[in-house]
Amino acid sequence: MRRLFSLLAVLAAPLFGTAAGSGTGPAFEETPFGKLPDGTAVTRYTLVNKNGVRVSILSYGGIVASFEAPDRAGKFADIVLGFDDLKGYLDGSPYFGCITGRGANRIAAGKFSLAGKEYTVTGANPHALHGGTKGFDKRLWKAEPAMTANGPSVKLTYTSKDGEEGFPGNLATTVTYTLQSDNGLRIDYLATTDKPTVVNLTNHSYFNLAGHNAGEILGHTLQLVADKYTPGDAAMIPTGKIAPVAGTPFDFTTPTVIGTRLKETGGDPVGYDLNFVHGMKREENAKLVATVTEPKSGRILEVLTTEPGVQLYTGNFLGKEVGKGGAAYKQYHAFCLEAQHFPDSPNQPDFPSVTLKPGEEYRQTTVYRVSAK
């Protein structure tokens, strides 16, 4: 059964969720989204702002399941890849829309050391990816929707136990999604630990600004506020160097069509899957690091973050997925811009640290803001 809450209804209700409304202002909807194999229910929370933009978040994996935004003519389309039901996500999703952690991206050989002790992340094949065999993308999060001064939001909480997926420490994690009035989906991350550990969290949404089912994104134009990158080996493990993008196919410091130099990137398969550097520390406030435009629809995506790096991925490994509405998702049908610390940071002393100690707080903010012209 669907529940829809408007701002006026919530303000009028002494207890959250006791009243419902269908006003035209900010609101959210709460609907069932299937059950896990053990029978646990998963819920879909759809945030709606005053402009009619709608973003759906799942309690499973913190997944951004849809992001409906208008083009220059006011026509709405869903601009993120995903599945119509929970089964699609359970049967082998390529991280569509999820929270990745504790260690986003790659950790070489799945191993790292802290305080002289070596730890091994589960599922290294041959390297650990996105937090192990059952990372944050495959966990059920406790969800608390709310109407806030900044817009409708849903706060997700999850405590990763000491030793889970090989990581030390009990890590209490909160991720809050807020749909702002400027059409920005703001993601605030907070984590604390009771033992030294490593933490690197991000969101793995796959975007196609022409619509999730519109085909290749190679005609999108990208600009990155990053004049350096972290070169990697054939397995995309960083060499430890930080190199300039000038004179390489990785230079997006001026607006560049994504497909222009795609074949020059090399790799198997060919395409972008690389960390770009726009800083060497976490910023206090989120700053603009990427702008993507799609010429036919006029949609523009801006990415703002406090993180020092952003991973550009052009869907190189897509090809087998059948997504929402039966859409066939093929290679290069989406791009990801994952705000993060650098890949393999636990093993790279010259990279910004991802170590979190007791008494400290991991905080990160990233905003995906959509407009059109």
Strands 54-58 and 41-48, sheet pairing: antiparallel
- Please tell me the pTM assigned to this model: 0.94
Q: Which residues are catalytic?
A: 204, 338
The neighbouring-strand residues paired with 365 are 188
Task: Select from 116, 117, 121 the least CA-distant residue to 131.
Answer: 121
State the total domains in the chain. 1
Q: How many residues does the chain have?
A: 373
The residue segments making up the domain with residue 306 are 3-372
As beta bridge partners, residue 309 has 277, 340
Burial of 1-13, coded b for 16+ CB within 10 Å and e otherwise, reads eeebbbbebbeee
How do the pLDDT tens digits run along the chain, 373 residues long?
455 554 433 333 322 332 223 346 799 999 999 999 999 999 999 999 999 999 999 999 999 999 999 999 999 999 999 999 999 999 989 999 999 999 999 999 999 999 899 999 999 999 999 999 999 999 999 999 999 999 999 999 999 999 999 999 999 999 999 999 999 999 999 999 999 999 999 999 999 999 999 999 999 999 999 999 999 999 999 999 999 999 999 999 999 999 999 999 988 899 999 999 999 999 999 999 999 999 999 999 999 999 999 999 999 999 999 999 999 999 999 999 999 999 999 999 999 999 999 999 999 999 999 999 9
What CATH number is associated with residue 266? 2.70.98.10
260 close to 331: Cβ distance less than 8 angstroms: no
Cβ-count burial of 187 within 10 angstroms (0-12 exposed, 13-18 middle, 19+ buried)? Answer: buried
- Residues in Cβ contact with 91 at an 8 Å cutoff, skipping those fewer than 6 apart: none
